[in-house]
Every structure is written in structure tokens, then in C-alpha cells.
């Protein structure tokens, strides 16, 4: 391969990037110093959204394979790229600190010149939410959702909504976990309660008995909720009962070598939800501080819309709620010897 003479500036397209800031206040002959900061921060956000989409798409590609070895470089790659996404999201939260150096009066110097431009028109962020698993029917403010986007950007988002999301692929991956479907792994299991039935379901019924016996009087509603989440019906969210049982098992026995990467995967998805929530909260607080109760430049309800999205747009809530069904480590049923060997070092 012939060596090319790559130069820093052209390689990074710096001429295009550094000449892509054109303040509206300058065009109106009323220069507003802080508009440059406003533009640069939002351009940086969009670049990071592009990188997040790149990472999430690669994760979805790997997890969409018919089989993913749970002790393989593929799963390590998934965890690594999800953790990178978490780190990027933490940076996006920190960028709000820079934005908050702009006072309300600084923003008013150019705010009205921006209408109807709005962060609500960020099609990349909406696409990212869809690829992770935020479904249209679970969105807050559906009437605003794509109202200000061009048809080509709407199609990009719609296409993302039609593709299997990370949440859907996670459910499929968890359902393939063979924890309870291979009776040989449970042939020597010794239940600690009077649990009935055979195989992996014997372990699960044993666990259910231990969990139920530890509920306080005020927690009795958790009995029916436990059975709805893990029973044989439709489940209680986006994870099927079978997937929920597998995820619970991973959380409980994450100390076993074979379960450490699967646990890290689940934990990284919870971190993504946490950072997205933190970003929404910081964004909402900043908007309230800067414009109070006024509507957004794009016509949304401003702070109220952001509050609604903060409360509703949790993507991996089904994983988070599993902590409601954990028990103390000292009460955890001992696995069968066959299952212990399968999950340990060989």
C-alpha cells in the first residue's frame, strides 16, 4: 500500500469545522458575545451524538447475531463500547457546566433571533433513543415529536424505530441463556425450601419461596408483581418473563466467572439510562434558570416538556426494577455442582 501524505488539518476537515459558526446576531448587526459559545456547544453535542450512534449501531450488529458466546471477545466488545458510550454521556452532562456560564441576560441578547430553531429538532438524538429502545408509544409529547423535522430526517428516525433496538436484542439474548433449560445442570440441586418441580424451575421456585418469606407486611403487593414479572404470562414490561429470569440469575450470581461479562453488560445499560436521565435533569434545570416558564424557541412547553421526558423516558427500566427482587447474599440458594462447574473456571 502506497503511503499517503496525510496532513492534520485536511484529515480533520478543520477548514469546514472551524468556519461553520455563523452567529445570527452578527447577521442582524447586533453582535452577542455568548452566541458563539451556544453554537460551539451544540455542534459538539451533535458530533458526540454521531459517535454514540456509531457505537450503538455496532453493539446492535453484534447482538443481532443468532448466537453470542457469553465468554467471547464479541461480548467483551459489546461491554467495552457500551462503557465508552457511558463515558461520552458523562461528558455531555459536564458540558452543561460550560453552558451555564451564560447568564439569562446573555441568552436574551440573541434568543429571539433563533426561532424556530430548537434542540428539539435534533434528529440524531431521537434516532439514538429509538436505537436504544425508546418506543414511540412511550414518548412524552408525541404531538411535538417530529413536527419540526424535514421528511428525510423523519424517515431516518422511522427507520431506526423499525429496526430491532438494543432493548429488543437484549431480550432475545437473555432468552437464549440456557440456565434453566438443561436439566442435567440441576440434577443434583438441593433446594433449601419445600420447592416443587424439577430442573431449573426447582431452583427458581426455591428462590421464590426465599424471596416471599423475606417480604415485610407493607411489601405484600410485591408477591403478585414478582409472579407477573417472572411468571409464564406476558410479563410486566419490555422483557419477557424468561428474559427477566435470566437477568435476575445473572445479577444474583455475577461472582461466577462466566457471568461477569453478562453482568457488566446489564450494568452498562443501567448506566446509560442513568446518564441520560442526569443529562435531562441538568438540561431541564438550566432551561428553568435561563428562561423560567417561557416556551422553547421551537414552540415546545420548555421546562414542562423536559420534565415530562425526564419522568417517562427510561429505556432500561425493566432491568432496574429487578433490584426489587434481590435477596441477601447469605440467603442465596447454593447452585447445583453441575451448574457451579459450568459457570466457573474449567
Contact 197, 184 (CB under 8 A): no
Structure letter (DSSP) for residue 314: -
Query: How far apart (Å, rounded) are the C-alpha atoms in residues 187 and 176?
Result: 21
pLDDT at 307: 79
Residue 248: is its pLDDT beyond 90?
Answer: yes
Write out pLDDT tens, residues 79-126.
999 999 999 999 999 999 999 999 999 999 999 899 888 877 899 999
Contact 287, 307 (CB under 8 A): no
CATH 3.40.50.12160 fits 8-343, yes or no: no
Phi then psi dihedrals of residue 341, to 5 deg = -65, -40
Three cell numbers, residue 100: 451555564
| HSE of 286, CA atoms in CB hemisphere, 13 A | 18
Query: How far apart (Å, rounded) are the C-alpha atoms in residues 88 and 39?
Result: 19
Contact 149, 182 (CB under 8 A): no
Q: How many CB atoms lie within 10 A of CB 277?
A: 17
pLDDT at 344: 83
pLDDT at 196: 76
Residue 286: is its pLDDT beyond 90?
Answer: no
SS (H, E, C) 260-311: HHHHHHHHHHHHHHHHHHHHHHHHHHHHHHHHCCCCCCCCCCCHHHHHHHHH
Three cell numbers, residue 92: 455531555
pLDDT at 209: 94
- Range scoring the smallest mean pLDDT among 208-212, 217-221, 239-243: 217-221
Write out pLDDT tens, residues 3-57.
788 999 999 999 999 999 999 999 999 999 999 999 999 999 999 999 999 999 9
Mean pLDDT (whole number) for 134-140: 81
pLDDT band at 326 (very low <50, low <70, confident <90, very high): very high
pTM summary value: 0.91
Structure letter (DSSP) for residue 333: P
| 3-class state of residue 28 by DSSP | coil
Mean pLDDT (whole number) for 125-135: 94
Per the rule left: phi > 0, alpha: psi between -120 and 50, beta: everything else, 4 is: beta
Residue 158: is its pLDDT beyond 60?
Answer: yes
pLDDT at 3: 77
pLDDT band at 299 (very low <50, low <70, confident <90, very high): low
Which residue is listed with cell 438540561?
283
Phi then psi dihedrals of residue 20, to 5 deg = -105, 15
Residue 296: is its pLDDT beyond 60?
Answer: no
The secondary structure element, H or E, covering residue 48 is: helix 34-63
Q: For the chain, give the mean pLDDT.
A: 89
What's the gap between Cα 178 and its chain centre?
25
pLDDT at 300: 53
39 is in an annotated binding site: yes
End-to-end CA distance of the chain: 44
Select the more confidently predicted residue: 290 or 142: 290
DSSP string, 169-211: HHHHHHHT--TTT-GGGGTT---SS---SSHHHHHHHHHHHHH
Write out pLDDT tens, residues 49-88.
999 999 999 999 999 988 776 667 899 999 999 999 999 9
96 is in an annotated binding site: no
283 is in an annotated binding site: yes
Nearest to 132, CA basis, from 275, 287, 10: 275
Per-domain residue ranges of the chain: 8-343
Interhelix angle 73-99/257-291, nearest 10 degrees: 20
pLDDT at 294: 61
111 is in an annotated binding site: yes
250 is in an annotated binding site: no
Amino acid at each position: 500500500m502506497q503511503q499517503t501524505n496525510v496532513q492534520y488539518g485536511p484529515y480533520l476537515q478543520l477548514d469546514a469545522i472551524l468556519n461553520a459558526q455563523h452567529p445570527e446576531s452578527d447577521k442582524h448587526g447586533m453582535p452577542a458575545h455568548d452566541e458563539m459559545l451556544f453554537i460551539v456547544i451544540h455542534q459538539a453535542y451533535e458530533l458526540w451524538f454521531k459517535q454514540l450512534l456509531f457505537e450503538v449501531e455496532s453493539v446492535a450488529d453484534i447482538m443481532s447475531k443468532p448466537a453470542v458466546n457469553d465468554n467471547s471477545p464479541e461480548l467483551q466488545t459489546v461491554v467495552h463500547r457500551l462503557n465508552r458510550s457511558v463515558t461520552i454521556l458523562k461528558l455531555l452532562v459536564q458540558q452543561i457546566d460550560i453552558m451555564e456560564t451564560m447568564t439569562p441576560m446573555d441568552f436574551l441578547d440573541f434568543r429571539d433571533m433563533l426561532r424556530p430553531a430548537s434542540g428539539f429538532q435534533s434528529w440524531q438524538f431521537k434516532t439514538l433513543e429509538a436505537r436504544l429502545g425508546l418506543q414511540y408509544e412511550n414518548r412524552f409529547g408525541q404531538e411535538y415529536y417530529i413536527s419540526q423535522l424535514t421528511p428525510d430526517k423523519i424517515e431516518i428516525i422511522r427507520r431506526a424505530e423499525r429496526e430491532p433496538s438494543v432493548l429488543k436484542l437484549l431480550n432475545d439474548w437473555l432468552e437464549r441463556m440456557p440456565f434453566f433449560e438443561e436439566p442435567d445442570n440441576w440434577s443434583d440441586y438441593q433446594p433449601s425450601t419445600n420447592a416443587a418441580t424439577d430442573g431449573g424451575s426447582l431452583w427458581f421456585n426455591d428462590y421464590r419461596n426465599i424471596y416471599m418469606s423475606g417480604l415485610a407486611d407493607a411489601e405484600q403487593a410485591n408477591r403478585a408483581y414478582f409472579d407477573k414479572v417472572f411468571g409464564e404470562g406476558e410479563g410486566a414490561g419490555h422483557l419477557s418473563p424468561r428474559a427477566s429470569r435470566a437477568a435476575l440469575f445473572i445479577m444474583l450470581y455475577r461472582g461466577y466467572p462466566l457471568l461477569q461479562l453478562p453482568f457488566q453488560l446489564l450494568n452498562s445499560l443501567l448506566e446509560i439510562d442513568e446518564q441520560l436521565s442526569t443529562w435531562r435533569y441538568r438540561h431541564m434545570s438550566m432551561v428553568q434558570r435561563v428562561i423560567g416558564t417561557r416556551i422553547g424557541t421551537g414552540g415546545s412547553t420548555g421546562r414542562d416538556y423536559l420534565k415530562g421526558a425526564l419522568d417517562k423516558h427510561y429505556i432500561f427500566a425493566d432491568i432496574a426494577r429487578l433490584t426489587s427482587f434481590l435477596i441477601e447474599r447469605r440467603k442465596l440458594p447454593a447452585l447445583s455442582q453441575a451448574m457451579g462447574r459450568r459457570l466457573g473456571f474449567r
